[in-house]
């Protein structure tokens, strides 16, 4: 978390501000405390959008929808003023990471945790639907994992059942590719069954570590959701039946939220939560960050390190965080508690990443759930502590409080980028429907054929190194220099395997070189809300054959990247030549969502 800067308020409404959780193109998020001592997350809309009556109407609807819910497994709206000159809303603070971050960092949840998760979210959706509201964006980054149970957040694109008026712009799809129901994609009448489909996809992700529908672009993802069966990995038994039932193509064939909840937890979700539902590593992580919150005290005056003005709709999208802990969220779209402010550490790199759940601007801060801090220079030139390891969609974290020099996380920049205004925006969104169509490629995002690169490369590519055959014949000859077939410029969309979310466009430029030298410079770029985020890296050839390469990727020291939004770890990446003349890319960084993609030769 970042201290308040000069020009920022000390109070909003009745809440004394403790620090800034995040900021970006849509507004800012602050950690606050009421006069009675309750910790809240306060979301303040950017003045640019405050002048837009359509946006105000959407914000007002978000607040009204969330206020009506008030279910046990949702985060409460405590206060709001949507008609203020600068609209704001205060929600209960949820001490826990987003599901997307927890799975990315710790792997799939155990079966008991998945059952508890499904039961709690089923009960939450039942309460949502009872108020005549469809959530429409149930996905891993909109689910928080707290010690006292899961929380469903973000009603920013919720829709009243039976409503005929819509604030969604023409051609804008509402939801997240890979988690949208078939009827939602087709644009036909929706019911609460669409949320059940999305919940089934979330449970599959929680149980297996991968989304049930994967593809190189939104177009591929949407096609698969409508026409193909889900990939459910190692799910088996009753849990497989439950998830498969939720993912039925026909809405009438899916269970209701309460039917789902009763099947997973006949005695109710609360009974499973009371018995202890989170695995040990997550319990320790949440506990540490919650304790750190107790030490926070309001500032007497903002830190005089420079102005932090609301400067326009297209802010620098560095530093986005939706809360604390690994991609933590906070109630109503925020995250787990922050740590005490850390001192500036000049030994850290200037471009560590922060996993966003909310778009950011100058001076946003890192989370206690991430290791390491560092100085950074953003559009305002404001230094400050930062977290590490962002990739959008969202999705990493580490043990809170760690800040050791030998930590792998948070030390180097990796080219794959997480844009703050991408899908993770929904964790603290205001008007998330606007975003989906503003990302690369519009509502369908990057266009791609449904059968090209629609699945990630296998762990061991078919063209990669092979073991000796039964007759003792050796596999492909190992190379000592880059094969000439790789030399040139390659470009294509990248997708996160763990979430199924698009992850920008990767450009890789290969030049001749020997093993042990840098042979490729990479750039990952993603654009939205007038913001273009660019991350640059280089990679050293470590091994390979004529068909498949393994390289070690790190920060490009010669090309500056967008501050704050690029992953900061080194990692191994793989490039494999395909028979159709394309190049398959695959990264091994789980904290980044295991990005992969299919690249084609470019004239650049």
Q: Could you give the residue numbers annotated as active site?
A: 137
If phi > 0 it is left, if psi is from -120 to 50 it is alpha, else beta; for residue 312 that is left
**39: Cβ contacts below 8 Å, ≥ 6 apart:** 31, 32, 33, 93, 293, 337
Burial class (CB in 10 A: 0-12, 13-18, 19+), 107: middle
Cα–Cα distances (Å) from 24 to 89, 169, 313, 448, in that order, read 16, 22, 9, 30
Closest C-alpha to 153, from 426, 466, 462, 456:
426
Residues 481, 544: Cα–Cα separation, whole Å: 9
Q: Three-state SS across 471-516? A: CCCCCCCCCCECCHHHCEEEEEEEEECCCCCEEEEEEEEECCCECC
| β-sheet bridge partners, residue 105 | none
Our CA dihedral for 89, 95, 100, 103, rounded to 10 degrees, sits at: 180
Residues 258, 250: Cα–Cα separation, whole Å: 18
The gap from C-alpha 170 to its chain's centroid, in whole angstroms, comes to: 26
Closest C-alpha to 423, from 337, 528, 494:
528
DSSP for residue 423: G
- The CA-based angle 39-44-50, given to 5 degrees, is 160
Under a CB-based contact definition with an 8 Å cutoff, are residues 214 and 259 in contact?
A: no
**218: Cβ contacts below 8 Å, ≥ 6 apart:** 177, 441, 443, 444, 445, 446, 502
Residues 516, 512: Cα–Cα separation, whole Å: 12
DSSP of 130-147: HTTEE-----GGGEEEET
Number of H helices, E strands in the chain: 12, 22
How crowded is residue 146: how many other Cβ atoms within 10 Å of its Cβ? Answer: 23
Composition of the chain by helix, strand, coil, percent to 5: 25, 25, 55
């Amino acid at each position: 978390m970042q201290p308040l800067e000069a020009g920022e308020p000390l109070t909003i409404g009745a809440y004394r501000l403790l620090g800034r959780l995040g900021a970006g193109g849509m507004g800012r998020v602050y950690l606050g405390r009421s006069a009675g001592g309750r910790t809240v997350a306060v979301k303040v809309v950017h003045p640019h959008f405050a002048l837009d009556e359509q946006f105000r109407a959407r914000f007002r609807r978000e607040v009204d929808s969330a206020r009506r819910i008030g279910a046990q497994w949702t985060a409460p709206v405590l206060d709001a003023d949507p008609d203020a000159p600068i609209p704001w809303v205060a929600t209960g603070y949820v001490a826990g990471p987003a599901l997307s971050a927890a799975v990315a960092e710790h792997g799939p949840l155990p079966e008991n945790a998945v059952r508890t998760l499904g039961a709690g979210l089923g009960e939450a959706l039942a309460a949502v639907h009872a108020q005549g509201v469809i959530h429409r964006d149930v996905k891993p980054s909109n689910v928080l994992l707290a010690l006292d149970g899961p929380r469903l957040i973000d009603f920013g694109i919720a829709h009243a059942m039976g409503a005929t008026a819509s604030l969604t712009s023409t051609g804008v799809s509402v939801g997240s590719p890979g988690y949208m129901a078939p009827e939602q994609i087709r644009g036909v009448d929706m019911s609460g069954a669409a949320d059940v489909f999305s919940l089934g996809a979330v449970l599959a992700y929680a149980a297996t570590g991968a989304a049930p529908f994967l593809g190189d672009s939104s177009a591929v993802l949407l096609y698969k959701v409508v026409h193909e069966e889900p990939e459910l990995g190692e799910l088996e038994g009753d849990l497989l039946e439950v998830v498969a039932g939720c993912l039925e193509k026909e809405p009438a064939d899916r269970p209701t939220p309460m039917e789902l909840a009763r099947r997973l937890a006949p005695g109710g979700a609360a009974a499973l939560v009371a018995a202890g539902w989170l695995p040990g590593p997550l319990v320790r992580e949440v506990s540490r960050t919650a304790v750190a919150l107790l030490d926070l005290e309001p500032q007497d005056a903002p830190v005089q390190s420079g102005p932090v003005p609301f400067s326009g709709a297209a802010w620098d999208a560095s530093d986005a965080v939706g809360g604390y802990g690994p991609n933590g969220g906070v109630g109503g779209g925020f995250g787990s508690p922050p740590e005490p402010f850390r001192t500036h550490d000049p030994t850290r790199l200037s471009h560590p990443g922060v996993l966003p759940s909310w778009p950011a601007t100058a001076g946003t801060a890192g989370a206690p759930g991430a290791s390491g801090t560092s100085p950074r220079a953003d559009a305002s030139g404001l230094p400050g502590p930062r977290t590490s390891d962002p990739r959008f969609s969202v999705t990493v974290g580490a043990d809170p409080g760690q800040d050791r020099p030998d930590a792998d996380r948070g030390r180097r920049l990796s080219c794959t980028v997480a844009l703050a205004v991408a899908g993770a925006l929904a964790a603290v969104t205001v008007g998330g429907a606007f975003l989906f169509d503003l990302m690369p490629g519009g509502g369908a995002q990057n266009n791609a054929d449904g059968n090209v690169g629609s699945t990630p490369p296998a762990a061991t590519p078919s063209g990669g190194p092979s073991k000796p055959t039964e007759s003792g014949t050796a596999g492909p000859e190992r190379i000592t220099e880059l094969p000439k077939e790789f030399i040139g410029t390659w470009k294509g969309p990248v997708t996160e395997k763990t979430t199924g979310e698009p992850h920008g466009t990767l450009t890789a430029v290969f030049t001749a070189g020997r093993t042990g030298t840098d042979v490729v410079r990479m750039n990952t770029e993603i654009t939205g809300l007038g913001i273009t985020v660019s991350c640059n890296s280089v990679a050293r050839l470590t091994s390979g054959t004529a068909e498949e390469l393994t390289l070690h990727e790190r920060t490009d020291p010669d090309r500056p990247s967008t501050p704050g939004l690029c992953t900061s770890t080194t990692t191994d990446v793989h490039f494999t030549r395909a028979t159709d003349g394309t190049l398959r890319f695959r990264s091994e960084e789980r904290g980044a969502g295991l990005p992969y993609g299919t690249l084609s030769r470019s004239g650049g």
